[in-house]
C-alpha cells in the first residue's frame, strides 16, 4: 500500500523568515515566548525600536520548521493586538512559497509566492474574480494583497538609516 502524501508532508521541513515590523513593547516578551513554543528560531532575537510606530519594536528572524507549524505560528501571531508582521515560507522544490501578512487594520492575508517573492494568482482565482460583479482591478488588488503591502511597506524600511521617517513618507 502506498504512503499517504498528506501525512508525509507533516514532516516536510521548510525555511522561512518571520518579520515583526512593529509590536508593542509591552507584548514583546510574550510574543517571543509564543513564537518559540511553535518554532525554533535559527538566530537569536534582536529587537530594535520601530520609529514609525510609537512604543513598538521590530525584528526579523530566519527559521527552519515543519510545514504544519506555519499555520499555528500565523494563528498565534494574529492573536496579538496592534501587530504588523509577515511570515514568509520559501518555495519548496521549485514550487510555490507562501506569505502571510498581518496588520491591525486589515487583519490576515495569505498569498502564494514564486521564487522571487512575487504574488502568484492561479487560474481558478482569476476566473472567480472575473465572474464577480465587482471591479476587476479591485479584485486583483485584493488577490495580490495590495492593501496589506501598502500598510507594511513603510515599516519594512530598515531603521538603521537616519531618515526612516522621511523615506516612509516618500521623501
pLDDT band at 121 (very low <50, low <70, confident <90, very high): very high
The answer on pLDDT for 164 being more than 90 is no
7 compared with 151, residue with greater pLDDT? 151
Whole-number average pLDDT of the chain: 87
Among 56-60, 92-96, 117-121, 122-126, top mean pLDDT goes to 56-60
Q: Which of 124, 116, 121 is nearest to 94 (CA)?
A: 116
pLDDT at 95: 86
The pTM score is 0.84
37 φψ region: left (φ > 0), alpha (ψ -120 to 50), beta (else):
alpha
> What residue ranges do the domains of the chain occupy?
5-168
24-83 per-position pLDDT tens digit: 999 999 999 999 999 988 899 999 999 999 999 999 999 999 999 999 999 999 999 999
pLDDT band at 129 (very low <50, low <70, confident <90, very high): confident
Strand partners, 100: 87, 110
The answer on pLDDT for 168 being more than 70 is no
d(CA 22, CA 54): 9
The answer on pLDDT for 160 being more than 90 is no
Taking the alpha carbons at both ends of the chain, their separation in whole angstroms is 63
Amino acid at each position: 500500500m502506498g504512503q499517504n502524501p498528506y501525512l508525509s508532508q507533516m514532516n516536510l521541513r521548510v525555511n522561512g523568515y518571520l518579520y515583526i515590523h512593529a509590536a508593542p513593547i509591552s507584548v514583546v516578551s510574550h510574543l517571543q515566548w509564543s513564537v518559540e513554543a511553535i518554532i525554533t528560531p535559527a538566530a537569536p532575537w534582536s529587537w530594535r525600536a520601530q520609529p514609525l510606530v510609537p512604543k513598538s519594536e521590530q525584528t526579523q528572524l530566519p527559521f527552519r520548521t515543519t510545514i504544519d507549524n506555519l499555520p499555528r505560528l500565523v494563528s498565534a501571531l494574529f492573536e496579538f493586538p496592534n501587530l504588523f508582521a509577515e511570515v514568509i515560507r520559501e518555495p519548496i522544490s521549485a514550487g510555490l512559497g507562501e506569505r502571510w501578512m498581518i496588520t491591525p487594520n486589515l487583519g490576515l492575508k495569505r498569498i502564494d509566492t514564486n521564487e522571487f517573492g512575487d504574488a502568484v494568482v492561479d487560474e481558478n482565482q482569476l476566473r472567480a474574480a472575473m465572474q464577480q460583479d465587482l471591479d476587476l482591478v479591485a479584485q486583483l488588488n485584493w488577490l495580490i494583497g495590495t492593501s496589506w503591502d501598502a500598510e507594511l511597506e513603510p515599516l519594512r524600511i530598515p531603521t538603521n538609516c537616519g531618515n526612516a521617517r522621511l523615506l516612509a513618507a516618500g521623501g
